[in-house]
A and B are shown apart, each in its own frame.
Chain A
Amino acid sequence: MNDQIAVFVGPAIDWFSISPLLVLLFGALFLLLVGSLTPQWRRGWYGLTSALTAGTAIILSILLWRDISSSGPKLLVGSALALDHFAVLASIAICSAVLLVSLLTSDYLAGENTDMPEIYSLYLTAAIGGIVMVAANDLIVLFLGLETLSLSLYLLAASNRKRAESQEAGLKYFILGGFASAFFLYGVALTYGATGSTRLVDINSALNSYITVPRNDTLLLLGIGLMLVGFGFKVSLVPFQSWTPDVYQGSPTPVTAFMASAGKVAALVALVRVFVTAFPSRADDWGPAVFVLSALTLVVGSVVAVVQTDVKRMLAYSSISHAGFILVGLEASSHRASPEVGDGLTAIAIYVVLYAALVVGTFSVVTVVAQKSNDGATSLDAFKGIGRNNPVLALAITVLLLAQAGVPLTSGFVAKFGVIQAAVSVGSYELAVIAMVAAVIAAFIYLRIMVSMWLSDSTDSVSVEVPLFSTIAIAIAVAVTLVIGVLPSLLLDLTSDLTQLAIK
């Protein structure tokens, strides 16, 4: 007993392995401290600093990726974080989102005649939270990441102080997000009660052994259920989606882009990691729940999207529907009750990465278009006449929208194909059919936006100005969409050993 009290040995830290986190932290603090101590920087420099930080984090993540390729996945910081390809890929997606959104925000704020370092600093802290989430091997660490991400997002949602909707969005998001966190934490507590650990790997081994821990399935299932609800709020699964359209619509559009990409990627990847690492032995229990959530999310997300008239709300519902698609992959993994999770996990990873690029690109265009009018309206009418006045921009968004609809030769098709393949290969035909039908319904909204751009007669001949940084962001998103769409092998090569999660 004495030994335990006397000596506290801190865990060994492999600093290089967490360097992306450190870089982001440094960037956030730098922007906040130096930004507040120095007079206003020249326009665009805050955004560039943030983008540069994210870019450095991406480069470091790529180095880590190569390390893992050569020496295998491992656990870090006393098994609190997992370092594997799954986590690094998600981190790269999150950092890329930060990079693109920073560029976009810089133009957006310029359009609003302001510029401030806080927003970028919040993006970076949110990214730290997100990366901790996707790498967390411990439910408490995961919760810390979740809160870091969420708190940043609440502030970001409310960051446009001139607009009441932004304030409302922030408040709404905060209250419902608080609920979700509480659910999640309660679930963690119950799971701890049932298994005696908060480490994902240890939970799994506890559940697989009959000797050390008596099986207490009531507590455990309740815990899993509550966690699922908590995640459900965060990734906006139906029936926990009600905040999404309002918050997406009310937030400044670049922030919406960030929420829909980085926020969603982090929460989805964490959800998947928890379920396939900690609870594969209970897949028969959570599999059906995921099935129902996925089906509901797909159908409600696509059907309700159809009746919207505001593009941001449409895209909010479409992002809900995309989350349903990703759950199809998780449901497929539930059919294999072992760490050998199969195609589902790879499909999910590919989906989130491609989806992040896609959604940032789409919202970038919305941002640019919304700034055409003074009130920042994002109704379908705002898109009228873009086809005639800005054919290149219209072509870019057409590619992005077709990709969201899952038309072949775009990344969206590759993503959907992977998920459907995972579902079909384990015999989940029903869910595959529901997902594809939902995709067709959702296609209608993308067509509506395209109709607005190309096929409506517009009296308005104001052409949309696309600032430099936004052009770069949109161009990158479109390039990723097309290149991966035509040559998916580039991405598939990388993800071949993705299913080897860090468990030791």
Chain B
Amino acid sequence: MIAASSEVLNFPILSLLVVLPVIGSIVVALLGGSRPEWIKLAALISSVSTAALSLWLLAAFKSGEAGFQFVSKHDWISQWGISWHLGVDGISLFLIVLTGILFPLVIVGIDPHHNETSYFAWMLLLQAGVMGSFLSLDLFLFFVMFEIVLVPMYFLIGGWGYDQRVYAATKFFLYTMAGSAFMLIGIIATVALAQRDLGVVTFDLVKIAEGANFSTNAARWLFLSFAIAFSVKVPLFPFHTWLPDAHTQAPTGGSVILAGVLLKMGTYGFLRFGVYLFPQAAMWARPAIFTLAVIGIIYGAIAATMQRDLKRLVAYSSVAHLGFIVLGTFALSSQAVTGAVMQMVNHGVSTGALFLLVGMIYERRHTREIAELRGLQHVAPIFAGVFTVVMLSSVGLPGLNGFVGEFLILIGSFGPARWWTVVATVGVVLAALYLLWAYQRVFHGEPDEANSSFKELTLREGLLMSVFLAIIVVSGIYPKPILDRIEPSVVALIEHVEGQTK
């Protein structure tokens, strides 16, 4: 047993998950001038090996254990009590795997059309930042990763986006930075206050969460400072206004990553940092957060219904879906939180896939206006079929992955947040409404001249989508292996919360 675990420790898989994309990014940047034809290959090698590592992690992960596994800890800035401290548990495991898989798919599946070198370099850097955010067990390291993600995303939106890209990129950068400014103060204050209980200055998440004892008032302020950053990132109503712009203007690859993993940094942050560090304050803030989450669900759904732009529609549907995730996170029952974690991954898969499909439509028709599209299922039946499955997964049809998470969230939230849950359920119906209606307008009817030349799914696109479809169907029909890995960590977290709030 001991031998086995030390064997695992010898191979720093988690550090490698962060470092590998960085190396890939540097290699891509260096190759850019001399060997442009190797760039995509280099980016692919880097991202595929990261994906392989993340899958290996999934296989080696011990199901049924609640604590952090594969922990890797090294002093970084010892004077300030900061360490390079990475670990994975059931809550972060699937987000890491999702991050690992999504990037190679985006890299292989979507052409940037211009400036390949910098596009792939930023992409890989982005991956490193996202990986780091999900793996960090050190408050400082987490902040660094959380914040550094802005830079590549800013350049991806600004450099490869659509007409309003500079505006959208700047808005994205400043909004998120403003949110995390408060978190930085919160982190420093957390450490300063925890020092009184712990006796040492440390940014170690676990030590602080287990050892520190904040006064009620201090904990509430600290929780709020974290909550602002995460609410912007999720985004929770009313901090969501950057999202539709960023999504609509971002290139397809950027949108997929943004919806797939970047937004999850907010919901994950709530769970890993907000709730874990300040359980009492989280309980105290619950009613307000429930309310905002439910407003987000309903508002996102209504706004999505009204959109004329297909991509904007999907963006607003994200606001609604993330409302569900936040609702489940703060319900703090093991079912709801497990559902929320599951739903983080599901939303990443299904909304990521939706953005990919919308991107393919735009590639073919150079428009995303719903009114301009008609009757596509006549000319591209396979495309329409794929779209249907992905859409139904997003709606939450039983048998597909979206259902599992949503169902667990609603069941688990009904006890702690009855009336909010009742209202949220309306959002499920609305989701069916706006997505099906959009589908009807785009795919049904007789195609006019412009739409009748709509190209069917190519082989490359088909292979790409089949990965998404496989995940959607398999994890929808047989979610048990996933839930088995998520649940112990969630239960431990809930116990921690209950122990602190008694």
**Beyond A424-B192, A455-B165, A489-B79, 10 extra complex contacts between A and B, CB < 8 Å:** A391-B118, A407-B147, A407-B150, A436-B181, A436-B184, A437-B181, A439-B181, A454-B158, A455-B158, A489-B76
Q: Is there an interface contact between A496 and B79, defined as CB atoms closer than 8 Å? A: yes
Q: Is B173 an interface residue (CB 8 A)?
A: yes
Does A274 interact with chain B (Cβ within 8 Å)?
no
Q: Which residues of chain B are near A432, meaning CB under 8 Å?
A: 185, 188
Can you list 21 A-B contacts (CB < 8 A)? A407-B150, A407-B151, A408-B143, A420-B185, A424-B185, A424-B188, A424-B189, A425-B188, A436-B181, A436-B184, A437-B178, A440-B177, A440-B178, A444-B170, A447-B154, A447-B173, A451-B170, A454-B158, A455-B165, A455-B166, A492-B77
Kindly report which residue of chain A lies nearest to residue B192, judged by CB atoms.
A425
B80 smallest CB distance to A (angstroms) = 7
| Chain A contact surface mostly | helix
Cβ of B362 under 8 Å from chain A: no
Of the listed residues A409, A421, A439, A492, the one surrounded by the most CB atoms of chain B closer than 10 A to its CB is: A421
Say yes or no: A436 contacts B185, CB within 8 Å.
yes
CB of B125, distance to nearest CB on chain A (Å): 11
Question: Shortest CB–CB separation between residue A261 and chain B, in angstroms?
Answer: 25
The reply to whether the CB of A443 lies closer than 8 angstroms to some CB of chain B is yes
- Indicate if A433 sits at the interface (CB-CB under 8 A): yes
Complex: A492 Cα to B159 Cα, angstroms: 37
Q: In the complex, how many residue pairs between chain A and chain B have their CB atoms under 8 Å apart?
A: 77
The answer to whether the Cβ of B144 comes within 8 Å of any Cβ in the partner chain is: yes
A440 lies within 8 A of B143 (CB)? no
Known contacts A408-B147, A424-B185, A489 near B159 by CB under 8 Å: no
**Interface positions of A from 393 to 445, Cβ below 8 Å from B:** 402, 405, 407-409, 413, 417, 420-421, 424-425, 429, 432-433, 436-437, 439-440, 443-444
Asked whether any CB of chain A lies closer than 8 Å to the CB of B182, the reply is yes
Complex interface residues of chain B between 51 and 100 (CB less than 8 A to chain A): 76-80
Query: Is A488 located at the chain interface by the 8 A CB criterion?
Result: yes
Check A3 for interface membership: any CB of B closer than 8 A.
no
- Chain A residues contacting B178 (CB-CB under 8 Å) are 437, 440
- CB-CB < 8 A to B182: which residues of A? 433, 436
For A417, list chain B residues within 8 Å (CB). Answer: 184, 188
CB contacts (< 8 Å) of B79 on chain A: these are 489, 492-493, 496
A408-B181 Cα distance, complex, nearest whole Å: 12
**Which of A425, A440, A444, A451 has the largest number of chain B CB atoms within 10 A?**
A440
- For B159, the chain A residues whose CB sits under 8 A away are 454-455
- Chain A minimum-CB-distance residue to B75: A489
Within the complex, the shortest CB–CB distance from B498 to chain A, in Å, comes to: 30
Chain B positions within 8 Å of A424 at CB level: 185, 188-189, 192
Which residues from A are CB-within-8-Å of B144? Answer: 408-409, 413
The answer, among B118, B148, B192, for a CB contact under 8 Å with A409, is B148
B residues near A (Cβ < 8 Å) are 76-80, 118, 143-145, 147-148, 150-151, 154-155, 158-159, 165-166, 169-170, 173-174, 177-178, 181-182, 184-185, 188-189, 192
Number of A interface residues at 8 Å Cβ cutoff, please give it: 30
Residues of A within 8 A of B189 (CB): 424, 429
Determine whether the beta carbon of A443 is less than 8 Å from that of B192: no
Report the bound CA distance from A420 to B192 in whole Å. 11
With a cutoff of 8 Å between Cβ atoms, the chain B residues found around residue A402 in the complex are 151
What A residues does B188 contact at CB under 8 A?
A: 417, 420-421, 424-425, 432
What is the bound-complex CA distance between A420 and B189, given in angstroms? 10
- Partner of A443 from the list B77, B78, B169, B174 (CB cut-off 8 Å) is B174
Across the interface, which residues of B come within 8 angstroms of A409, CB to CB? 144, 148
CA distance A338 to B143 in the complex (A): 33
- Residues of A contacting B181 in the complex (Cβ-Cβ under 8 angstroms): 436-437, 439-440
Q: Which of B144, B181, B189 has the most CB of A within 10 A?
A: B181
Contact A443 B173 (CB under 8 A): yes
Contact B184 A420 (CB under 8 A): yes
Bound CA span A416–B169, Å: 24
Smallest CB–CB gap between A390 and chain B, Å? 13
Complex Cα distance A451/B150, Å? 15
Q: Give the distance in Å from the alpha carbon of A493 to the alpha carbon of B79 in the complex.
A: 8
Which of A424, A432, A489 has the most CB atoms of chain B within a 10 A radius of its CB?
A: A424
Top 3 nearest A-B pairs (CB, nearest first) are: A436-B181, A408-B144, A492-B79
- From B78, B154, B169, B174, contact of A444 by CB (8 A): B174
Q: Is B184 a contact partner of A447 (Cβ separation < 8 A)?
A: no
Cross-chain contact A447 with B170 (CB below 8 angstroms): yes
Distance between A85 CB and nearest chain B CB, rounded to angstroms: 15
Q: Which residues of A contact B165 (CB under 8 A)?
A: 455
List of A residues within 8 angstroms of B155 by Cβ: 454
| Residues of the B chain whose Cβ atoms lie less than 8 Å from the Cβ of A407 | 147-148, 150-151
Report the separation of the CA atoms of residues A429 and B225 in the bound assembly, to the nearest whole angstrom. 12
B194 to chain A, nearest CB (A): 12
**Judging by beta carbons under 8 Å apart, are A408 and B166 in contact?**
no
The docked-state distance in angstroms from the alpha carbon of A50 to that of B184 is: 42
Q: Cβ of B77 and Cβ of A489 under 8 Å apart?
A: yes
How many angstroms between the C-alpha atoms of A489 and B83 in the bound complex? 11
For the complex, what is the distance from the CA of A330 to the CA of B184, rounded to whole Å?
20
A408: chain B residues at CB < 8 Å are: 143-145, 147-148
